[in-house]
Amino acid sequence: MSDFLSRLAAIVGPQHLLTTDADTAPFTLDWRRRYQGAPLAVSRPGSTVEVSEVVKLCRAHKVAIVPQGGNTSTCGAATPDGSGRQLVLALRRLNAIRHVDTDNNALTVEAGVTLQEAQQAAEAAGRLFPLSLASQGTCQIGGNLSTNAGGVAVLRYGTMRELTLGLEAVLPDGRVLSQLQGLRKDTTGLDLKQLFIGAEGQLGLITAATLKLYPLPSAHATAMVGVGDIETAIDWLNRLRDRFGDRLTAFEVIDASCQQVLRRHHPSLMPFSAPWLILIELSDGGDPAPLNDALVEWLSAQTMTDGVVAQNETERRKLWTLREEISESQRKDGPSIKHDIAVPTSALPRLVRDCATDLDQAFPGVRIVAFGHAGDGNLHYNVSYTRPGNADLFDDEDAVNAIVYDHVYRLGGTLAAEHGVGQLKKDWLARYKDPLALELMRTIKTALDPDGLMNPGKWL
């Protein structure tokens, strides 16, 4: 191994090869603190060429690679195992904004650029890069791609997959596949980028991407309203789309329990109370006033229990802060069993009712905190207080998951909507995913990574 490490140091530079526990610590514990790994080392290559050389070296020495971006995975997808034999490959030093093409509405960035840096590069060019998530200051484009990240603007702009025009990736044998031309139409064969998006680094390492840019909206109209049930929310969603088309850029829902959590930790921000709150945002070019008027006019014809339309940017930011503070408020509120589930939007009301009924029967007094992206059928669905005082919660994790996922799959849904699978949901994937689909994925994995060195121990 010392021969391997000295060669590795020669490639990335000794200062970018971390081997002591103190140096590697920031890379070995996952964001939710559920997985603690023990790596062989952490390497921080500074270019695609260096990544390629590291991969070739690892292949020659049969060393497994765990790629890591901002280390914000909620599923342990970027954490090495405890064997002391896996190399963490941290991409942060690949942080160049390579190219902004405003006429082609395309942005080429390296994998280690944070989502926020990508957003800023777009904005500096008078364009929008629309992916938006709570961890955007830390998470990196390579990780966003590897988990096919979603967030609050998917309703309008799609997930990371739909925002990607092309990739540069280092294959398991170290060769570099480069498809960064920024074409919007190309039918010359298979669309190879699709293999790497959402693959959590198990088929190769993404080193750069060309992303779609959009016009920067000059007008927003934002409202927070309360409605009586989730059925009404879905009805509003469709009527808002009919009326405003793709000017409807966000449609987030927050259930009553989640509102209580927010009220506890942000009392001043939280004057609302309703069975379900909806955060609605319209975006457009041109003047903001008519957009705001149109939203007010539409809302005034609806029945609602509570509601406010933001009158200025400060009020708009306040409404969004409320949405963005949910995760942190929940963390302060104690542990919960978390689910990142999606069903067809039409099935969301049934999911909400049926899950609640069965969980309450199995665990009387259970608390369910649900919020998320109703426009995509995606709920973050968190279960706690299955026992008095929320004690030994995780002893019930398997039973809770089985209830939730049984309903999700009965309704044609998925157990991983936008956070990926990683280590956390690997066994659940094996239980719920179509075996034929899993077999096909493994066939492709074996064909591309016969030595199994790309992020092993995850779901593939």
- Of residues 112 through 151, those in contact with a copy of itself by CB under 8 A are 126, 147-148, 150
Interaction of residue 250 with a copy of itself, rule CB under 8 A:
no
Instruction: Identify the residue among 233, 307, 433, 457 touching a copy of itself (CB under 8 A).
Output: 433
Instruction: Identify the residue among 105, 207, 386, 401 touching a copy of itself (CB under 8 A).
Output: 105
Residue 378 Cβ vs a copy of itself, minimum distance, rounded to whole Å: 5
Instruction: Identify the residue among 111, 113, 170, 195 touching a copy of itself (CB under 8 A).
Output: 195
Instruction: Identify the residue among 161, 266, 316, 353 touching a copy of itself (CB under 8 A).
Output: 161
Instruction: Identify the residue among 245, 271, 334, 335 touching a copy of itself (CB under 8 A).
Output: 245
**49: how many CB neighbours lie within 10 A of its CB?**
13
Cβ closest to a copy of itself, residue 29 vs residue 438? 438
Cβ closest to a copy of itself, residue 154 vs residue 221? 154
Interaction of residue 238 with a copy of itself, rule CB under 8 A:
yes
Interaction of residue 301 with a copy of itself, rule CB under 8 A:
no
What is the rounded CA–CA span in Å between residue 453 and residue 204?
A: 9
Interaction of residue 402 with a copy of itself, rule CB under 8 A:
no
What is the rounded CA–CA span in Å between residue 188 and residue 141?
A: 26
Cβ closest to a copy of itself, residue 14 vs residue 126? 126
- Lay out the site mask for a copy of itself across 303-342 (x = CB under 8 A, - = otherwise): ---------------------------------------x
Residue 239 Cβ vs a copy of itself, minimum distance, rounded to whole Å: 10
CA contacts within 13 A on the Cβ side of 156: 26
Cβ closest to a copy of itself, residue 244 vs residue 320? 244
Q: Is 322 exposed, middle or buried (0-12, 13-18, 19+ CB in 10 A)?
A: buried
Q: Which residue has the tokens 């669905």?
A: 381
Interaction of residue 286 with a copy of itself, rule CB under 8 A:
yes
Interaction of residue 444 with a copy of itself, rule CB under 8 A:
yes
Cβ closest to a copy of itself, residue 169 vs residue 393? 169
Reported residue count of the chain is 460
Instruction: Identify the residue among 6, 84, 96, 186 touching a copy of itself (CB under 8 A).
Output: 186
Interaction of residue 192 with a copy of itself, rule CB under 8 A:
yes
Interaction of residue 443 with a copy of itself, rule CB under 8 A:
yes
Interaction of residue 430 with a copy of itself, rule CB under 8 A:
no
Instruction: Identify the residue among 243, 318, 350, 353 touching a copy of itself (CB under 8 A).
Output: 243
Instruction: Identify the residue among 54, 225, 415, 453 touching a copy of itself (CB under 8 A).
Output: 415
- List, in order, residues 6 or more apart from 385 with CB less than 8 Å away: 363, 365, 366, 367, 393
